[in-house]
Amino acid sequence: MSEPAIKSDAQPAVIRPDKETFLAEENPFEAMMERFDHAAQLLSLDPGLYKVLRHPEKQIIVSVPIIRDSGELEVFTGYRVLYNTSRGPAKGGIRFDLNVTLEEVKALAAWMTWKCALVNIPFGGSKGGVVCDPASMSLGELERVTRRYTASIIETLGPDSDVPAPDVNTNERVMAWIMDTYSMHTRHTVTAVVTGKPVEMGGSLGRREATGRGCMFVTREALARVGQSLKGARIVVQGFGNVGSVSADLMAKEGASIVAVSDKSGGLHNPKGLDVPDLIKWVKEHRQLAGYLRAEAVANDALLTLDCDVLVPAATENVITRKNAGQIKAKVICEGANGPTTAAADEILEKKGVFVIPDILANAGGVTVSYFEWVQDRGGYFWDEETVNRRLESIMTRSFAETMAMADKHTVSNRIACYMLAVDRVAAMHRLRGMYA
């Protein structure tokens, strides 16, 4: 990321998408838990385990007082949720945003739990955030918020307990501040307490590109499954931040044609293909796609329904809904963002025969290389970028194959197959460990 603007006893019932409420379509946590419920039903999950897995282990709310540059004392609210740590230390990002809520953080922590289990790395899931407006804060104020928030949740942090990473409006510098604050409290340097750090401080090569690279790997596997090659495929990417731009760049290098991209400022379309390196250079200089003249403008909503082979929603949640799912023409959807497709839209896409690569698989490359970073920090031995990318490809392709095997075995959608794999792995750990009482 660029430098700041850092800015019951009963067996769980299946909640079918056609009975979905308006709340479930608008609330990512409710949408996620619908899929969990469906997976739990198909797995015949023990009612007691169902109760355990449906509730977060720990929810922390802290006050974060700082002195602003003006001398004014201001108090922000911070959250940290550890959803499940049965498989290992909690892993999850920290975001700084005015829209951070406890429900959102809880949903994202649950997502991280299933994502880590799906790709079978030894982490549980967590998430955190501070309710603030980074765009209105100086670098010094952001550092003070970061350090005070870190100190407030320090009892839960640690390489063996809870390992944060960058998220919305946080970056390598914020991770450096967290690492330093934690290290000052422990009186020795602890690089493995966070991931997504600068390489000079124990960060991993390949970490910044990992989520986009993972999207490229699973898109390649999905296209092969539907009888097509990534070379020559027409790709639409919604969202041109880190994930979207890296995905577009890597897919283009594999011979795909990126026919449309978008960001908050609008979309660009060229059916003959866009010059992705030129777009990346433009955005680096102008901070947005708007104003780029070598393509036709297209509205963000219209971009989602363009004729293409692959659609990569890599921006925000709930962009593919019951309202537009029927108009989507892509053969494959690779969910680079968390929760871009609502449960109601899932049903429509399934009936249309669209091959969906669910978010907890598609964007798991980031947490996978975060795992590599954690391993390297703990071992004190660092890998070259080729090794990182090769091991990432191995995990992503293996996880894709395991998901397809589960989907075929149980005749379920790819998304439910992902949840079944993940929930079964977390439940299995609970069965083996037993219940401490």
* Rounded Cα distance, 55 and 341, in Å: 23
pLDDT at position 6, please? 37
What's the confidence (pLDDT) of residue 239?
Answer: 92
Q: How many alpha carbons lie under 13 Å from residue 360 in its C-beta half-sphere?
A: 29
| Exposure of 89 in the CB half-sphere (CA atoms within 13 A) | 21
> b/e for 132-156, b at 16 or more Cβ within 10 A?
bebeebeeebbbbbbbbbbbbbbeb
Locus of tokens 């090569």: 205
Q: How far is CA 228 from CA 221, 256, 272, 309, 353, in A?
A: 9, 11, 19, 9, 15
Instruction: Looking at the structure, tell me whether residues 253 and 353 fall in a common domain.
Output: yes
Tell me whether residue 426 is in a domain.
no
Note whether residue 323 is domain-resident. Answer: yes
Q: Is residue 58 predicted with pLDDT exceeding 60?
A: yes
Are 175 and 223 part of one and the same domain? no
d(CA 64, CA 150): 9
The neighbour count for residue 69, using CB atoms within 10 Å, is: 12
Confidence of residue 235 (pLDDT cuts 50, 70, 90): very high
Q: For residues 170 and 282, state if they share a domain.
A: no
Residue 295 lies in a domain: yes
Both 236 and 122 in one domain: the answer is no
Q: Are residues 178 and 215 in the same domain?
A: no
* φ, ψ for residue 39, nearest 5 deg: -65, -40
Which one of 331, 362, 393 terminates a domain? 362
Instruction: For residue 395, give the amino acid letter.
Output: I
Do 241 and 279 fall within a single domain? yes
294 in the same domain as 153: no
Q: Is residue 19 part of a domain?
A: no
Quote the tokens at residue 434. Answer: 């037993």
On the question of pLDDT at 219 being above 50, the answer is: yes
Res 4 pLDDT > 60 = no
CATH number for the domain spanning 81: value is 3.40.50.10860
**DSSP-assigned states of every residue in 339-367:** S-B-HHHHHHHHHHT-EEE-HHHHTTHHH
Mean pLDDT, range 330-339, rounded to an integer: 93
Report how far residue 149's alpha carbon sits from residue 172's, in angstroms, rounded to the nearest whole number. 16
Does residue 162 share a domain with residue 218?
no
Question: 79 and 223, same structural domain?
Answer: no
Which residue segment(s) compose the domain that 275 sits in? 210-362
Last residue of a domain, one of 362, 395, 426: 362
Neighbour-count burial of 74, counting CB atoms closer than 10 A to its CB (0-12 exposed, 13-18 middle, 19+ buried): middle
Residue 5 included in any domain: no
Average pLDDT, the chain: 91
For residue range 16-49, list pLDDT tens digits in order: 334 444 444 556 677 678 888 999 999 999 999 9
State how far the Cα of 328 lies from the Cα of 333, in Å rounded to an integer. 10
**Domain presence at residue 352:** yes
- In sequence order, which residues have a C-beta less than 8 Å from that of residue 71 and are 6 or more positions away? none
Kindly state whether residues 178 and 237 are assigned to the same domain.
no
Check if the beta carbon of residue 386 is closer than 8 Å to that of residue 359: no
Percentage of residues of the chain with pLDDT beyond 90: 80
What does the pLDDT look like over 264-287, one tens digit per residue? 888 999 999 999 999 999 998 988
Identify whether the C-beta of residue 355 lies closer than 8 Å to the C-beta of residue 219: no
Domain count, the chain: 2
231 is a catalytic site residue: no
Q: Assess whether 66 and 150 both reside in one domain.
A: yes
Q: What number is the average pLDDT over the span 314-329? A: 90
Percentage of the chain surpassing pLDDT 70? 93
Q: Percentages helix, strand, coil for the chain, rounded to the nearest 5?
A: 45, 15, 35
Query: Is residue 348 situated within a structural domain?
Result: yes
Q: What is the pLDDT of residues 351-406, one digit of tens each?
A: 999 999 999 999 999 999 999 999 999 999 999 999 999 999 999 999 999 999 99
- DSSP track, 269-306: E-TT---HHHHHHHHHHHSSSTT--SSEEE-HHHHTTS
Is 408 within the bounds of a domain?
no
232 lies in the same domain as 181? no
User: Per residue in 133-174, pLDDT tens?
Assistant: 999 999 999 999 999 999 999 999 999 999 999 988 899 999
**CATH number for 235:** 3.40.50.720
Question: Which residue in the list 106, 115, 127, 331 is annotated as catalytic?
Answer: 127
Q: Are 64 and 145 in contact (CB under 8 A)?
A: yes
- Domain ends where: 320, 347, 362? 362
